[in-house]
Structure 1
Amino acid sequence: MPVSSVFAVENPSTNNSNAILDIASDNDELKTLVSAIEVAGLTDTLKGDGPFTIFAPSDRAFADLPEGTLENLLKPENNDNLQNILLYHVYNGKVTAQDATNLNGQEIDMANGKKAKMRVENGQVFINDAEIVTTDINAQNGVIHIIDTVLMPK
C-alpha cells in the first residue's frame, strides 16, 4: 500500500540504518502510535522504501482524545477507520522542518487521500491544528515530526 529554527524543539538526530517505524518504536513518546500502527496492519507499509514524512502524535496526544475513542478505534471491526486516521498522519515524500515552514498556508496531500494544511503562527509550525513539537527525527526512509494532537480526517 503506497503511503502517501522557528520550531519550539528541534531534534537533529539522524539514524540512516533504521526505518521510521524502527525509530518510532524506540521513542518513549510514540508507544501508542506504534501499537496502533501494528493493530492497523501498517507495519510493512511504514518500513517500506519511502520517503515518508510521519506527523506522529505523541502518547499525550492520544491520551487527550475523548474517553473511549482510542479503545474503540483499536477494535478489529474499526480497522478501516484506524488505517484512515493513521494514514492521515503520513505524507508520501520527505518534508523537513525547513520545508514545513516554506509550506505556510499550503495544503498537502496525505496518504489517505485527504489534505492537511500547513501553517506558521507566532514562530510555531502546525499541521491543521496540531503543533509540531519535535522535528527532523531522520530515518533511512523519511522523517518523523512529533505533534501534540491526533489529526482526524474530515
Structure 2
Amino acid sequence: MKVILRKDVAALGDAGEVVAVKNGYANNFLIPQGMATRATEGTLRALETEKKQQAKKMELKRKSARDLAARIEQMALKVQAKAGESGKLFGTVTAADIAEVLKAQGVEIDRRKITMEAPVKTLGKYEAEVKLFSDVVVRVSFEVEAEGVEA
C-alpha cells in the first residue's frame, strides 16, 4: 500500500514523501497514529499543491532574508560596554548585546542566530555572523566602545 507520510518516520522517510509499506503496518500503525494517510489520487494532488505553496513561502522568506541582509550590511553598529582604562571590558560582549543593538536600529533578530568567533573582551572592531535563513548568512561589523564615550 502506498501512503503519504505526515511526520518523519525513522527508517521509512520524511514528512511529505510517498512510500510503499505493507498493508498491516499502514492500517494498524501509521494511519491510526497520524503518521501517514493513504495515497489516493486526491491526496496526491493535494500533496503537490501543498509542496508548491511551501516552495513559494520558502522563496518569499529567502527573498525577505536577502533584503534584510542588505539592510544589516549597511548598518554601523556600536556596542556600549563598561571598560577599564586599559581597554579591557568588565564582562564580555555577547550575541544578545548585538541583537539588542540591532533591535534598537529596527531589526529584530534572535540572539541564537548570531555567532561570534571568539568572546569579545576588549574595546575595538569585531565581526559576527548572522544566519537569517538556511543559505543567507551576513557578516556584521560592530565596534565596542566604552560606556559614556561619544564618538
Q: Which has the higher contact order (CA 8 A, sep 6+)?
A: 1
* Greater gyration radius: 2
Q: TM-score range by the shorter chain?
A: under 0.3
Q: Could you tell me the TM-score, scaled by structure 1's length?
A: 0.20
Q: Answer 1 or 2: which has greater helix percent.
A: 2
Task: Specify which structure has the higher proportion of strand.
Answer: 2
